[in-house]
Structure 1
Amino acid sequence: MDQLDQTSQNYSLTAAGQRNKVLRNTMWLLALSLLPTIAGAWVGMATGITAGLRGFVGFAVFIVGLLAFQAAIFKFRNSSTGVFILMAFTFFMGLMLSRLLGYVMGMSNGTTLVMNAFASTAGVFAVMATLATVIKRDLSGMGKWLFAGMIAIVIAAAINLFFGSSLMMLALTALSTILFSFYMLYDLKNIIDGGETNYIVAATHLYIDIFAVFQNLLAIFGIFGGDD
């Protein structure tokens, strides 16, 4: 009986160590991914390469690029190639962010708005990381509801491209901020509980959550706090 208890304890320690390793590697890779994002945003703003990506064209390029990169990352998730693809993906996301970033930075208080959006995003991440460590309940069931919500928002956003409703866009931006904040909690909890064991995939999911929250908050701050 003592031997079984010792074996069980050793297994638990090994599993905990593995989860901590995945979490640590995920955070390092997530921090590293910010560099290509900044580079992509700078290139986009400096060259204006994304200036023509408006309306449905910009929406389509973003969705296709997002899905293609995610598929490639998942395919090469168990090799160093996956890391390089992730870095290319975050550069692409920086390019996609450059139009909004350039618009906000063109305001007299643009730098302050960007810093506020960054600080707010960091605050959301800190809150969700704390909740993920405190909550003992299994949150895996949230996944299907979050995914359904995300699909609904994407479809509504695509429809709104034809109507051009500013009110609808603002509502979807606010809902998307809430949705991806909870996605952040879900993905962090999934790593902590050992549901996600691949740090490349884990970093990709958290990156998308953080990017979405930052982009949405930046848009909201630009709408309500921008000074021309």
Structure 2
Amino acid sequence: MQGKPVYTHANAQVESLVSTHKVLRNTYLLLAMTLVVSAVSAGISMAIGLGQGAALILMLVGFGLLFVVNKMADTSKGLVAIFAFTAVMGASIGPMLTAYLSLPNGSALVMQALGGTALVFFGLSAYALTTRKDFSFMGGFLMVGLLVAVVAMIANIFLAIPALSLTISAAVIMIMSGMILFDTSRIINGGETNYIRATVSLYLNIYNLFIHMLHLLTALTGSDD
């Protein structure tokens, strides 16, 4: 009499690995698509001359859509929500990019920021994927650091201290770099199994990394004088 197949620990590991690879593949594919959508919407925003007021409104709309994405991430509507979210976020930085591009070496600064962002993202992602280390221990530290940075940014709106602004940008770059390791590690080690939520996390890391790297590069080269 033939017995039933035995479900071994090895089978479970193989299934877990396949599932992780699927989430990782879907995440990077969706991330690439959302970045393209953001770039296109930013270009349209610049072309129509979107104002700072409208950009602020779009930023607030984006925060609202972020909650919608997380709520719908387990359904097919989550894809519609994430594309709407990234399109709005892309459009919201149109005026900022227009201002930077109006500087004498604005185009070079934007390209350097894009290149630097790509280098940091791919480098840290490759490190996390290659070593497969668990960076979950960084979660608490990164959240505290992010909270402090947000409070400092709000305070500096009123204080307008250039040195503090540079310090904040440098800190955010470090925090976002840590978040890339943390979020990639969560996907690899099964801590995040929803590719829409994983994409949102990585997208926000890249988004903030680019903005603050552009600000820091501009200040360090004296282009904002």
Per-residue deviation, 1:24 = 0.1
The sequence identity of aligned pairs, in percent, is 31
Paired residue total: 220
1:113-162 superposed Cα distances (whole Å, 9 cap, x missing partner): 11111111111012211221244543212112111111111111111111
- More displaced stretch, 178-187 vs 131-140: 131-140
- Equivalence for 1:111: 107
Give structure 2 stretches of 5+ with no counterpart.
none
- Equivalence for 2:206: 210
1:52 alignment partner, SS class? helix
Per-residue deviation, 1:52 = 2.8
* 1:19 equivalenced with 2:15 (yes/no): no
Give structure 1 stretches of 5+ with no counterpart.
none
Compute the TM-score of the two structures, normalised by the length of structure 1. Answer: 0.89
Amino acid at match of 2:32: A
* 1:95 equivalenced with 2:91 (yes/no): yes
- Aligned-residue Cα RMSD (Å) equals 2.1
Contact 1:50/1:96 (<8 A) preserved: no
- Equivalence for 2:173: 177
Contact 1:50/1:95 (<8 A) preserved: no
- Equivalence for 1:29: 30
1:69-124 superposed Cα distances (whole Å, 9 cap, x missing partner): 22111111012211111111111111221122111111232222111111111110
Contact 1:149/1:179 (<8 A) preserved: yes
Contact 2:65/2:85 (<8 A) preserved: yes
- Equivalence for 2:39: 38
- More displaced stretch, 142-151 vs 64-73: 64-73
Separation of aligned partners in 1, 2:140 and 2:51: 33
Separation of aligned partners in 2, 1:19 and 1:142: 21
Per-residue deviation, 1:193 = 0.7
Contact 1:108/1:227 (<8 A) preserved: no
Q: How does 1:45-56 map to 2 (within 5 A)?
A: 45-52=46-53
- Equivalence for 2:140: 144
- Equivalence for 1:190: 186
Compute the TM-score of the two structures, normalised by the length of structure 2. Answer: 0.90
